[in-house]
Amino acid sequence: MTFGLDGLRTRPAQTWGSIRLVPLVRDEPVPGLRLHRVAYDEPISVVDVGDGSSYTSYIPHAFVATWRDGDELPAASYGARLLERDTAPAPERMPIRTTKRMARKAGKDRLRFLPLHLAVEGYLALHFGGPTIAWEEWSRKAVAQGLSPRAEAAYLGRQVRGLEDALRIFEIHPGQCGVLVYVADALASAFVVPHPDDYRALHATLVEDMYGELIYIHGLLGARTGDVSAGIDDSRIGSLADLRAAAVRGRAEWAVFHDEVMARRLFDEKGTHRHVQRLRDFHLTRFLPSFELKRENHIGEAIVDGDARVAYLKTFRLSDGQIRRGHLLTWLAKHRWRLRDAAAAMRVTEANLALRLERSGFGYLLRQDVLDHYRAQAARGETFRPPDPPSGGPAVT
């Protein structure tokens, strides 16, 4: 399944220092679905991912999707709400919330889910399963526990320099249902909702979202955005009508440039999708990229209708380190975690693959004597002829 931003139109960007926000507007809201926010007071949550394991994370709020038949739509909530729930008293100094699942029903026509954590769960589930067969090169810990502990670093939106100011001062367009956030012209995230009222209510939550290392560093350095404005040839302007027509052409050219150049790698045609929950005619899904090296890779979650039109979207840009780890582990998983077969398919030696795993932080997965052997070979400067791949093909770097 593939989807895009059909039904959303790009409006002129607004810039503040290194922050560029690109509004996305709809001609008509997506019928039958609305989103609102439920705020949490507790700063830390323990999330059960459904396979007997759990991880701890900062979760400031959840989204609640409400769907109806026909045109009966509830009003988007604004501000705080009082909800009845049974919770154990929180510890004095470190309150903890236990969340049963990433996405769960909150009524027959309501679904509560944690923004971006569906995507992170998908990323963790793909990469942290570990070897399923006890091949001789893997340690007992790797076979018994997988790639535990599961840990991913992210930065709160308030830590991204300039983002909070930009969100506060920028104009929200009529009909705006989404935004693409750039930091120093690096696409940081995409956020889309079904209705303009939902966007106005949820606009401020962008400073509570997770952002990757690259985005944080770009904000910290304060790199300026590039000039991508389309100029107007004043020699061709003879009236207000000419000026209006030139402005319309400029907006159209900017939209095409943005969609085909700046945001072209938001969705990966070679990536994977997994449905998490069905909402009548809608599907809550999460997607992962192909982990191709030296290019953008975004994980994310979306609610799409039967025509694959995006009603809700939230994405997270992976760091180069995360992409490299994903690339290596995807090859291993593809070849059932057999080091020899994965190395042959990648056109590298087993020693090369083992040492690349070590540099990526996964050295503990290999038996110590096996890893020491490969280290010794590298220290002696021995060279190896890569084995032929099972079905040929180019070398993978």
Fill in the DSSP letter of residue 365.
G
Are 273 and 207 in a shared domain? yes
Each of the 397 residues of the chain gets a pLDDT tens digit; together they read 567 788 899 998 888 889 999 999 998 888 888 777 765 554 445 555 455 555 555 555 566 666 654 444 433 333 334 444 444 443 333 333 444 444 555 455 556 666 666 666 666 666 556 666 666 677 666 655 556 555 667 788 888 999 999 999 898 999 999 999 999 989 999 999 999 998 998 898 888 888 888 888 988 888 777 776 667 777 778 888 888 888 888 888 888 888 888 888 999 988 888 887 787 788 888 888 999 998 999 988 888 888 788 988 989 898 888 888 888 888 888 888 888 899 899 988 888 888 998 888 777 778 888 888 888 877 776 554 555 555 444 444 3
Are 117 and 197 in a shared domain? yes
Q: How confident is the model at residue 19, as a pLDDT?
A: 92
Amino acid code (one letter) for 261: V
- Please tell me whether residue 141 adopts helix, strand or coil conformation: helix
- Please tell me whether residue 161 adopts helix, strand or coil conformation: coil
Are 286 and 360 in a shared domain? no
Domain of residue 346 covers 338-389
Question: pLDDT tens, 330-360?
Answer: 888 888 888 889 989 998 888 888 899 888 8
Following DSSP, what letter does each residue of 45-96 receive, concatenated? EEEE-SSS-EEEE---EEEEEEE-STT--PPPP-S--------PPPPSSS-E
Tokens of 99: 């969340």
Question: pLDDT tens, 292-310?
Answer: 998 999 988 888 888 788 9
Q: How confident is the model at residue 10, as a pLDDT?
A: 92
Q: How confident is the model at residue 82, as a pLDDT?
A: 40
Are 345 and 215 in a shared domain? no
Contact 64, 14 (CB under 8 A): no
Are 223 and 276 in a shared domain? yes
Q: Which residues contact 289 (CB under 8 A, 6 or more apart)?
A: 268, 270, 271, 297, 298, 299, 318, 326
**Residue 349: which of 390, 304, 392, 383 has the closest Cα?**
383
Element containing residue 339 per DSSP (H, E)? helix 339-346
Are 154 and 214 in a shared domain? yes
Flag whether 316 is in a domain.
Answer: yes
Q: How confident is the model at residue 371, as a pLDDT?
A: 86
Flag whether 66 is in a domain.
Answer: yes
Contact 130, 80 (CB under 8 A): no
Contact 153, 213 (CB under 8 A): yes
Are 363 and 251 in a shared domain? no
Work out the burial of residue 179: count CB atoms within 10 Å of its CB; fewer than 13 is exposed, 13-18 middle, 19 or more buried: buried
Flag whether 22 is in a domain.
Answer: yes
Number of domains observed in the structure of the chain: 2
Q: How confident is the model at residue 73, as a pLDDT?
A: 40
Q: How confident is the model at residue 95, as a pLDDT?
A: 39
Q: How confident is the model at residue 345, as a pLDDT?
A: 92
Q: How confident is the model at residue 22, as a pLDDT?
A: 93
Are 123 and 18 in a shared domain? yes
Domain boundary among 305, 334, 363: 334
Q: Which residues contact 232 (CB under 8 A, 6 or more apart)?
A: 243, 246, 247, 250
Are 107 and 31 in a shared domain? yes
What is the spatial distance between Cα 157 and Cα 86, in angstroms, rounded to a whole number?
30
Count, in order, helices (H) and strands (E) of the chain. Answer: 10, 18
Tokens of 8: 């959303």
Are 356 and 276 in a shared domain? no
Q: How confident is the model at residue 106, as a pLDDT?
A: 47
Are 323 and 223 in a shared domain? yes
Q: How confident is the model at residue 62, as a pLDDT?
A: 65
CA distances from 317 to 57, 155, 217 (A): 18, 12, 13
Are 265 and 215 in a shared domain? yes
Flag whether 238 is in a domain.
Answer: no
What is the spatial distance between Cα 286 and Cα 120, in angstroms, rounded to a whole number?
9
- Please tell me whether residue 244 adopts helix, strand or coil conformation: helix
